[in-house]
Structure 1
Amino acid sequence: MPRFLTYSLTFVVLFTNVLIGYASNEIGLQAANPLNKFIKSLSVDSLGDQKVDVAVSMMNRNVAKVLIEITVTDTIQQDDWKVELTPSFTPTFHWAPHLTPTDDHIIAQHVFRAPALIMADKSRQVTIIPDLSLLNDHKGPDWYMDLNATENKLILGMSESAVKEHVLFVREEGAEYKSGTIKFGFYILLNDDKKALFNPWEQGLDFLWETWGQGAYDQTDKLNLDPYVDDTYNWAFNSWKESVWQEFTLNGKKVGAPTFIVNVTQSPNYEGLINEREFRSIWNQAWFNSLRSAQGVFRYARRTRNKELMDYAQLTKELALAFPQKNGFFYGLIATEMENVEIDGNHYNRSKGWDAFYWGNSNRNPLTRDARNAPFHILDMSYTAWLMLNWYDELEQDSRLLDYAIAYADALVGLQDSDGFFPAWLALEDLQPYSFLAQSPETSMSVTFLVKLYQISRDERYLDAAVGAMDAVVDNVVMDGRWEDFETYWSCSTYGQEHLVGKKVERNNMYKQNTLSMYWTAQALLNMYQVTGEKDYLRYGNRTLDELLMAQAVWQPPFIYVDAFGGFGVMNADAEWNDSRQSLFAELIIQYGLELGKRQYIQRGLAALRASFLMMYSPYNEKTKQQWEARWPFFGEEDYGFMMENYGHGGVTDDHGLGIGEFTIYDWGNGAAAEAYNRLVDHYGKDFMLNI
Structure 2
Amino acid sequence: MNGSRFARRARRARRPISVDAHPARAVRVSILLAVLLSAVPGFWACRAVETGATRLDRDGARYTLRLDGEPVVSFTVPALGPAGAPRVDVADLDGPEKGWRRVRLVWDLEAPAAQDELAVRFDLLFEPELWWAPHLAPEEGTVVAQHVFRSPALIAAAGPRVLTVVPDLDLVGARPENPWFLDLDAPKRAMALGLSKTDVPEHVLFRKVPGQVFRPGRVELGFFISAAVDPEPVKDPWAGAASFLWSRWGRPLYAKGEPIPGPLRSYVRRTYDWAFRGWAPFVWQEFDLGGRRVGAPQFIVNVSQSPNSPEPWFQRESLSIWNQAWFSSLRSASGLFRYARAALDEGLMAKARMTKELALAAPVADGLFPSVIATPNEEVPVDGRKLPRPRPWSEARWTNSDRTPVEHGITADWYHVLDMSVTALAMLRWHDELEKDARLLDYARAYGERLLRLQDEAGYFPGWLHPETHAPGPVMNRTPESSLSATFLLKLADMTGEPRFRAAALRAVDAVVADIVPRGRWLDFETFWSCSAWGKDRYLDRPVERNALYKQNTLSMFWTAEALLAAWRATGRALYLDWGRRTLDELSMAQQVWQPPFIHVPALGGFGVMNADGEWNDSRQSLFAELFLDYADATGETAFRERGLAALEAGFVMMYCPENPKVKAMWERVYPWFGPADYGFTMENYGHGGRTSPEGEGMGVFTIYDWGNGAAAEAVLRVLDHRPELKSELDPQR
Is TM-score (shorter-chain normalized) higher than 0.5? Answer: yes
Which residue does the alignment assign to 1:72?
109
Contact 1:643–1:663, Cα closer than 8 Å, also in 2: yes
| CA displacement at 1:624 relative to structure 2 | 1.0
| CA displacement at 1:140 relative to structure 2 | 4.0
Contact 1:440–1:485, Cα closer than 8 Å, also in 2: yes
Residue from 228, 243, 246 that aligns with 1:206: 243
Aligned equivalents of 1:45 and 1:467: distance in 2?
52
Unaligned runs of 5+ in 2: 1-30, 57-64
Which residue does the alignment assign to 1:42?
75
Which residue does the alignment assign to 2:20?
none
Structure 2 residue 666 is matched with structure 1 residue 636: no
- Aligned ranges for residues 235-254 of structure 1 at < 5 Å? 235-254=274-293
- Aligned ranges for residues 53-202 of structure 1 at < 5 Å? 53-59=87-93, 62-135=99-172, 137-138=174-175, 140-195=177-232, 198-202=235-239
Give the alignment's TM-score, normalised by structure 1: 0.95
Deviations 1:539-591 (A, max 9, x none): 10000011001000011111000011100000000010000000000000100
Aligned equivalents of 1:679 and 1:123: distance in 2?
39
- Aligned ranges for residues 349-428 of structure 1 at < 5 Å? 349-367=388-406, 373-428=412-467
Partner of 1:214: helix, strand, or coil?
helix
| CA displacement at 1:310 relative to structure 2 | 0.3
Partner of 2:202: helix, strand, or coil?
coil
Closer, same or farther in 2 for the Cα pair 1:458/1:303, shift >3 Å? same
What one-letter code is carried by the residue in structure 1 that aligns with 2:656?
A: Y
What one-letter code is carried by the residue in structure 1 that aligns with 2:720?
A: V
Which residue does the alignment assign to 1:650?
689
Contact 2:683–2:700, Cα closer than 8 Å, also in 1: yes
Contact 2:35–2:88, Cα closer than 8 Å, also in 1: no
| CA displacement at 1:368 relative to structure 2 | 6.9
Q: More deviation in 269-278 or 294-303?
A: 269-278
Aligned equivalents of 1:574 and 1:615: distance in 2?
18
Deviations 1:602-634 (A, max 9, x none): 010000000000011111111111111111111
Question: Which contiguous aligned blocks of 4+ residues in structure 1 show a shift greater than 4 angstroms?
Answer: 8-22, 26-32, 368-373
Which residue does the alignment assign to 1:520?
559
Aligned equivalents of 1:520 and 1:11: distance in 2?
41
Which residue does the alignment assign to 2:598?
559
Partner of 2:81: helix, strand, or coil?
coil
Aligned equivalents of 1:53 and 1:18: distance in 2?
12
Deviations 1:635-654 (A, max 9, x none): 00000000010000000000
Which residue does the alignment assign to 2:358?
319
Contact 1:20–1:56, Cα closer than 8 Å, also in 2: no
Aligned equivalents of 1:631 and 1:224: distance in 2?
27
Residue from 585, 603, 607 that aligns with 2:624: 585
Aligned equivalents of 1:214 and 1:552: distance in 2?
13
Which residue does the alignment assign to 1:671?
710
Contact 1:20–1:54, Cα closer than 8 Å, also in 2: no
Which residue does the alignment assign to 1:341?
380
Which residue does the alignment assign to 1:546?
585
Partner of 2:194: helix, strand, or coil?
strand
Contact 1:117–1:154, Cα closer than 8 Å, also in 2: yes
Aligned equivalents of 2:422 and 2:36: distance in 1?
59
Contact 1:161–1:172, Cα closer than 8 Å, also in 2: yes
Closer, same or farther in 2 for the Cα pair 1:14/1:606, shift >3 Å? closer
| CA displacement at 1:122 relative to structure 2 | 0.8
Aligned equivalents of 2:287 and 2:153: distance in 1?
51
Aligned equivalents of 1:27 and 1:609: distance in 2?
48
| CA displacement at 1:681 relative to structure 2 | 1.0
Aligned equivalents of 1:540 and 1:45: distance in 2?
40
Q: More deviation in 174-183 or 569-578?
A: 174-183
Partner of 2:75: helix, strand, or coil?
strand
What one-letter code is carried by the residue in structure 1 that aligns with 2:400?
A: N
Partner of 1:617: helix, strand, or coil?
coil
| CA displacement at 1:175 relative to structure 2 | 1.1
Which residue does the alignment assign to 1:271?
310
Residue from 33, 38, 59 that aligns with 2:55: 33
| CA displacement at 1:367 relative to structure 2 | 2.0
Q: More deviation in 461-470 or 213-222?
A: 213-222
Closer, same or farther in 2 for the Cα pair 1:257/1:139, shift >3 Å? closer
Aligned equivalents of 1:109 and 1:343: distance in 2?
44
Partner of 1:517: helix, strand, or coil?
helix
Which residue does the alignment assign to 2:21?
none
Deviations 1:173-206 (A, max 9, x none): 2211000011110001111233287000001111
Aligned equivalents of 1:589 and 1:18: distance in 2?
52
Structure 2 residue 574 is matched with structure 1 residue 535: yes
Partner of 2:172: helix, strand, or coil?
helix
Which residue does the alignment assign to 1:459?
498
Give the alignment's TM-score, normalised by structure 2: 0.90
Percent identity, aligned pairs only, is 48
| CA displacement at 1:59 relative to structure 2 | 3.1
What one-letter code is carried by the residue in structure 2 that aligns with 1:658?
A: E
Residue from 557, 582, 600 that aligns with 2:639: 600
Aligned equivalents of 2:603 and 2:480: distance in 1?
28
Deviations 1:209-267 (A, max 9, x none): 11111101101155320100100000000010000000000111110000000000000
Deviations 1:448-471 (A, max 9, x none): 000000000011110111011111
Deviations 1:99-154 (A, max 9, x none): 00011101000010110000011132110000111225445410110111111111
Which residue does the alignment assign to 2:726?
687
Aligned equivalents of 2:672 and 2:139: distance in 1?
41
Aligned equivalents of 1:201 and 1:19: distance in 2?
38
| CA displacement at 1:44 relative to structure 2 | 2.3
Which residue does the alignment assign to 1:223?
262
| CA displacement at 1:164 relative to structure 2 | 1.5
Closer, same or farther in 2 for the Cα pair 1:529/1:162, shift >3 Å? same
What one-letter code is carried by the residue in structure 1 that aligns with 2:439?
A: R
- Aligned ranges for residues 604-619 of structure 1 at < 5 Å? 604-619=643-658
Unaligned runs of 5+ in 1: 1-7
| CA displacement at 1:62 relative to structure 2 | 2.6
Partner of 1:325: helix, strand, or coil?
coil
Alignment size in residue pairs:
682
Closer, same or farther in 2 for the Cα pair 1:512/1:235, shift >3 Å? same
Partner of 1:330: helix, strand, or coil?
coil
| CA displacement at 1:54 relative to structure 2 | 2.4
Closer, same or farther in 2 for the Cα pair 1:401/1:590, shift >3 Å? same
